Structure 1
């Protein structure tokens, strides 16, 4: 019985959707399947080019520079032979892995995307800002722009900017002046991602629709004024606590999720910022339903400034990771400030110090925290301390009638033996002594 090619019978729109998940090189190769497929690739609206494909070919001892030239020629040739229709997505990945590539082609490819009214342009990475055509800053069809620059110098500023439909913007290695020129002309912006930017100042920019903000490894201008983010739902920050403080964020009433990774700062004894009040940082986060803190500075923030903040009425999940002093009094204070907390996660390199301190303080808070039902402990090393840690947790939770879950996540880098029969015996014994506690573990390999 002859087989039927049902895939080829699908309409062009469905086949194009299937091909949109393929890299451009694979999509073009479908032309050999049959006459039906011969020109389907030429009307694709989502184009994905990935220079990482060359790494597997290079193992065949091909000349590296020649491979890059051939692949670049393939991209240019494909664009020339495409049908004259608009582009939805233009995505070039891993170009930076081949520094001997002809970077002048960047301008050619991006210009093509702009001229064909691309909605999404993703280019990681261009070598310098001069390789971006000026027309990209006035592309009325553009909805998403993701650009990572390897060499920020020389900084070339756009002569004019008009991006009325831009909703998502990722930029790196820009300065304050460049950022201002762009952001004031993006009235529809909902997502902003900044990395390795110098001297940024977001105050004074109308962010009425901004829902997601990411700031990584940036420096901030110390300027007067406050930053209001009325629609922000997700906030991701990576940097020093002083940088976050200097951003001047006043309030985020719509916030649901916040992530903060604080770099450890070195202070002189005479440095005024050492004793600076960081409670404003926590004040700005009080509406979140999920908070994640990373870094040694996070413990200091929670320990010193938490008592100056209002109650976290919406907080359901709290994660404290990499803290050097996760003592019970700090955890107790956090639980007291979060009456509706359901899950507490602690990641620590020295697990025996997680609940170090006065047991009576945290035990009382556990008994009052009626919504808290899960404690998750991530252990990165010193596996041998698990037993006293579990026993201490069980003692602190004694008296609770509600079923409680303690989840231990043992990281593959933890010292000591792999989970053995003795540990399982300990779990069974504690379960019998504390029927309201459900103890389990996950081993990350």
Structure 2
């Protein structure tokens, strides 16, 4: 039977005759459908009919996940032997996606590397690895970087990286990288010339040194820093949108607003670290969201040598970027010559997690001072209640000839 065609009987008893509708589909579509099933279920289709006996072997994707398609598989002997046999029997059909979602107190990283090597050998384009046990899947120092000419998307969860794995120069087609709940403690650098979109959530960075991110062709960045030193963003001239949230406490010092208290024993300051951390890499973004917890000094520190945000059209800041040091907001506005939209989210720990008040700025572009973008069209302030710190921000904006009208609207704050 020619490749890609359904059996003659299946075609005769197609959808219009109420026959086998799935059987009427070409083999190439069935292989694609099988790629969405957990691997255990895909293999079980071999008992449906003679035609299905070997279809699973050429499915375009493999998903080693729980029976419900979402939960992880316990990394036990039975599961390991199943995957070993699966790959052995499957043969050399090309892969589009390979997903491994496992849980366990001790993951055999060497075995996983063999499975990944198989996927890479057969031209996998999307690779997803999730380790959801109580400990990280720790890479060995000698484990080499990932190498693939075909990989376009990589998703990682629960991995403790070694020093070299995130050198992605050997993956020239890679455009999407998502990292969740991973350890960068010994990973000094993320490097990729091809990367377009980068998302890092719930990371653990080193507390005494900064990971560097080198991705000059990045267009989208989503970075949440929950533990350890904020990473250094190197130049990103093509950046369109970025969200950076500093949620941890490592870049905080009660004795210094800028991270240079002078005490060499201070774990939070880095006195000899004077180069830009975030804002230099973000300076070419068109849409920017910045947020931090109280006392985080990293934005204030970078603003000592504030870059010019030459393409910035939309800016959203949380309260830490506005108060108590209003100069953070002032310097960013002074260095954003084409800004069109400004959003300020002012909500504090003592308030309910609801943004009940919306204040919309009223102003004439002709009456704005020269330091403010003549392109400014919208200024919006959201808060839970109008307290002294909100009044401080409104007073500053009124000095720029921006007044406000109030409306009531209940909006749940995220995070």
* TM-score bracket for this pair, using the shorter chain length: 0.5 to 0.7
Distance 1:27-1:227 versus aligned 2 partners, 3 A rule:
closer
Distance 1:307-1:126 versus aligned 2 partners, 3 A rule:
closer
- 2:198, 2:218 within 8 Å by CA — same for their partners in 1? yes
Q: TM-score scaled to structure 2, two decimals? A: 0.64
In structure 2, what is the Cα distance between the partners aligned to 1:283 and 1:231?
15
Are 1:16 and 2:31 matched, yes or no?
Answer: yes
The residue that corresponds to 1:150 in the other structure is 136
The residue that corresponds to 1:375 in the other structure is 380
How big is the alpha-carbon RMSD for the aligned residues of Structure 1 and Structure 2? 5.2
- 1:237, 1:261 within 8 Å by CA — same for their partners in 2? yes
In structure 2, what is the Cα distance between the partners aligned to 1:338 and 1:9?
59
Distance 1:342-1:52 versus aligned 2 partners, 3 A rule:
farther
Q: Is the partner of 1:335 in helix, strand or coil?
A: helix
- 1:10-409 to 2 correspondence within 5 Å? 10-31=25-46, 36-51=51-66, 53=68, 69-82=77-90, 84-93=92-101, 95-96=102-103, 98-99=104-105, 106=112, 109-110=115-116, 112-114=118-120, 116-125=122-131, 150-152=136-138, 154-158=140-144, 163-168=148-153, 172-176=159-163, 178-179=164-165, 183=168, 185-191=170-176, 195-202=182-189, 207-213=192-198, 216-219=203-206, 229-239=215-225, 243-244=229-230, 247=232, 249-262=233-246, 263-264=248-249, 265-267=251-253, 269-271=261-263, 273=269, 281-296=278-293, 300-303=297-300, 305-306=302-303, 308-321=305-318, 323=320, 326-327=323-324, 330-339=328-337, 340-346=339-345, 348-349=347-348, 370-373=375-378, 375=380, 377=382, 383=384, 385=386, 396=398
In structure 2, what is the Cα distance between the partners aligned to 1:400 and 1:102?
60
- 1:252, 1:285 within 8 Å by CA — same for their partners in 2? yes
- 1:87, 1:116 within 8 Å by CA — same for their partners in 2? yes
The residue that corresponds to 2:3 in the other structure is none
Distance 1:9-1:193 versus aligned 2 partners, 3 A rule:
closer
Q: Is the partner of 1:41 in helix, strand or coil?
A: helix
Q: CA deviation at 1:53?
A: 4.3
- 1:209, 1:231 within 8 Å by CA — same for their partners in 2? yes
Q: How many residues align?
A: 362
Distance 1:319-1:241 versus aligned 2 partners, 3 A rule:
farther
The residue that corresponds to 2:411 in the other structure is 442
In structure 1, what is the Cα distance between the partners aligned to 2:218 and 2:71?
42
Q: Is the partner of 2:278 in helix, strand or coil?
A: helix
Q: TM-score scaled to structure 1, two decimals? A: 0.60
Q: CA deviation at 1:5?
A: 3.3
In structure 2, what is the Cα distance between the partners aligned to 1:54 and 1:15?
18
Deviating more after overlay: 251-260 vs 214-223? 214-223
- 1:367, 1:400 within 8 Å by CA — same for their partners in 2? no
1:67-124 CA distance string (max 9 Å, x none): 955555544444444365233322111x12x348888864664454355454444332
Distance 1:122-1:163 versus aligned 2 partners, 3 A rule:
same
Q: CA deviation at 1:49?
A: 1.6
Distance 1:241-1:106 versus aligned 2 partners, 3 A rule:
closer
- 2:340, 2:376 within 8 Å by CA — same for their partners in 1? yes
Between Structure 1 and Structure 2, which shows a larger proportion of helix residues? 1
In structure 2, what is the Cα distance between the partners aligned to 1:77 and 1:154?
25
Unaligned runs of 5+ in 1: 58-63, 128-147, 407-425, 428-438
- 1:199, 1:220 within 8 Å by CA — same for their partners in 2? no
Q: CA deviation at 1:338?
A: 2.5
Q: CA deviation at 1:286?
A: 1.3
